[in-house]
Structure 1
């Protein structure tokens, strides 16, 4: 029996990459999972993988930058799966651009997803937990870029620093209700997002394709790129009973790249 057997978790950005890995790990640990993303076709595939693990799921198409859609997704998860104990605000986007070239539209686009999406996720989760007397768990996606600002990733870094601040503030507000709020800070993860980062870095710096990725991986103490499953294992810990005395924290899970 898994540590979170019989619980229900909601994961945003669950159609691929880290979100998919988190959803599958939580299902393997015994949770039913509400899968939230914009990509309906890929969501269906992940739902099939959850079913193969013997757990139930529901798929919800929602844009996390829209407050009403996030609140509706949380309500639907409860209705479809019967309860809700864990919310993982994983969805996010990246931008690679010199800070001197950043536009208002660039700023609005990434803040709407990476910051507002987490605000709405925390808010909707807390509302549901408080209404039902649930001592729930909220888990947010930050990054190594939430501990160190990275060149050409100024806006992304700023949003991930903001997630750490939101995590701390929400943890303090919700602790009296037995609700914990933590974040996870991955490093260089072998996903489509890093393919995009590498390509954009190459365009701005003139580096050969793959060179930026290789440079970052070479700096990892454990000697390899991170996998989505590495991240999911840590999120599983944050979601489980062993982390119940932990709140307001944003630990690094990066193989030894950034140290705090």
Structure 2
């Protein structure tokens, strides 16, 4: 550990899987959880991006494992779970964070776009939860945390598929909480608001595939008036809630959605 490393201990001894952890909020979750003592499986369809996050975790004295996975494929998910168990010997927490964001006018959304977003954002949560829950059931406890988004509560006309997928994740959070509570497993959701991540740049690319940063920042600025606290969020704004939900402090909470959105959605 270097002098710049600040390490807590709220998650000492815990093994945490974070899907979609190669960048954005997922990478923020992974590094923050590792800084609190967790051994973190950085899971992403982009294995190279996952490796970079793990390298950063290890440079700061943490423990990490990069595992490539396609969350929409059950065999891939099972292989991921096996790899984590082989490396760390146990799993305590699953963060279902993998997701894709599509901005498209409502009347222009195609069947192919709809299916892709629902598969990654919705089916991926179901498959990962089912496969990790089998291990949780055998050990008699575990935690599942799902990234739900403000779109699960307040959908936009230009994000119809994304909003529907996140509403599905919220519904899965509730049904999973009911189904898994008898086995000592808690299931909760975290609802990030407008967070500045690579997902925004991916929506604004030119014909060469290069991100148009100015367009991305302008799109973020468009949402600022809807945020009570007057600014878009960062992954660092969401990470403390992720740590709380992964820790023993949240043991008596299940079936809940915690919004971390600067006040976009008032519940």
Matches within 5 A, 1:187-202: 187-197=193-203
8 Å Cα contact 1:198/1:212 also seen in 2: no
Matches within 5 A, 1:88-103: 88-103=95-110
8 Å Cα contact 2:41/2:66 also seen in 1: yes
1:22 aligns to 2:22 (yes or no): no
Q: Structure 2: 5+ residue runs without aligned partners?
A: 1-7, 207-213
Match among 10, 22, 37 for residue 3 of structure 1: 10
8 Å Cα contact 1:9/1:84 also seen in 2: yes
Matches within 5 A, 1:164-179: 164-179=170-185
8 Å Cα contact 1:13/1:90 also seen in 2: yes
2:70 aligned counterpart, secondary structure? coil
- Residue 40 of structure 1 deviates from its aligned partner by 2.0
- Residue 198 of structure 1 deviates from its aligned partner by 6.1
- Residue 197 of structure 1 deviates from its aligned partner by 4.3
2:67 aligned counterpart, secondary structure? strand
Give the match for residue 5 of structure 2: none
Give the match for residue 124 of structure 2: 117
Q: Distance in 2 between matches of 1:53 and 1:78?
A: 23
- Residue 82 of structure 1 deviates from its aligned partner by 1.5
TM-score (norm 1): 0.92
Matches within 5 A, 1:130-141: 130-131=137-138, 133-141=139-147
8 Å Cα contact 2:220/2:232 also seen in 1: no
Matches within 5 A, 1:35-114: 35-114=42-121
8 Å Cα contact 2:70/2:76 also seen in 1: yes
Q: Which moved more, 1:46-55 or 1:89-98?
A: 46-55
2:257 aligned counterpart, secondary structure? coil
Give the match for residue 148 of structure 1: 154
Residues 86-136 of structure 1: CA distance to partner in whole angstroms, max 9, x if unpaired?
1101000011112222222111111110000000111011111112x1411
Aligned Cα root-mean-square deviation (Å): 1.6
1:251 aligns to 2:261 (yes or no): no
Instruction: Say if 1:198 and 1:147 are closer, same or farther in 2 by CA, change over 3 A.
Output: farther
Q: Distance in 2 between matches of 1:168 and 1:153?
A: 23
8 Å Cα contact 1:198/1:211 also seen in 2: no
Runs of 4+ in 1 over 4 A off after TM superposition: 197-200
8 Å Cα contact 2:145/2:187 also seen in 1: yes
1:126 aligns to 2:163 (yes or no): no
8 Å Cα contact 2:196/2:220 also seen in 1: no
Q: Distance in 2 between matches of 1:116 and 1:74?
A: 17
Q: Distance in 2 between matches of 1:150 and 1:193?
A: 16
Give the match for residue 205 of structure 1: none
TM-score (norm 2): 0.90
Instruction: Say if 1:197 and 1:257 are closer, same or farther in 2 by CA, change over 3 A.
Output: farther
1:115 aligned counterpart, secondary structure? helix
Instruction: Say if 1:144 and 1:36 are closer, same or farther in 2 by CA, change over 3 A.
Output: same
